[in-house]
Amino acid sequence: MELAIRKAVAEDAIIYTNCLISCWQSAYKGIVPDGFLNNMVVEKEKRIGRFKNAFTNPGDCAYYCVMHEEKMVGFLCINKNRSGNTPDVGEIWAIYLIEEYWGKGYGKELLDFEINELKLSG
């Protein structure tokens, strides 16, 4: 199975939000309170709006969709260092895959992609 990684655009806000909710509900079950995870669906429209805005005006952040064929199966986010003390240092803010893609070696591929993107951005 081959994954494709592309920059997120405003039109991706809905699938990005759906993917985020799925990832969080799987990854954080038993760690984050169930009430919070269940409430993510209730706040879905707010999240969609925030992502539309973030993808349209990303600032220093770079948002990526991880795709398998036509389905979004994960997401990535990188940014410059938030502390501001070291301008040549970046941060990986997010690296997620939906549960059915866990344990297949894709995490390393995604991490390598993000590290390369940080290097390219300086």
pLDDT in tens, 72-106: 999 999 987 776 677 677 888 899 999 999 999 89
Q: Which residues of 100-111 are buried (b: 16+ CB within 10 A; e: fewer)?
A: ebeeeebeeebe
pLDDT in tens, 10-25: 999 999 999 999 999 9
Domain holding 19: CATH number? 3.40.630.30
Full DSSP string of 4-20 = EEEE--GGGHHHHHHHH
Q: Is this structure's pTM higher than 0.95? A: no
pLDDT at 43 over 90: no
Q: How many structural domains are present in the chain?
A: 1
pLDDT the model gives residue 27: 94
Lowest mean pLDDT among 9-13, 66-70, 112-116: 112-116
- The residue type found at 85 is N
Which residue range is the domain that position 50 belongs to?
Answer: 4-120
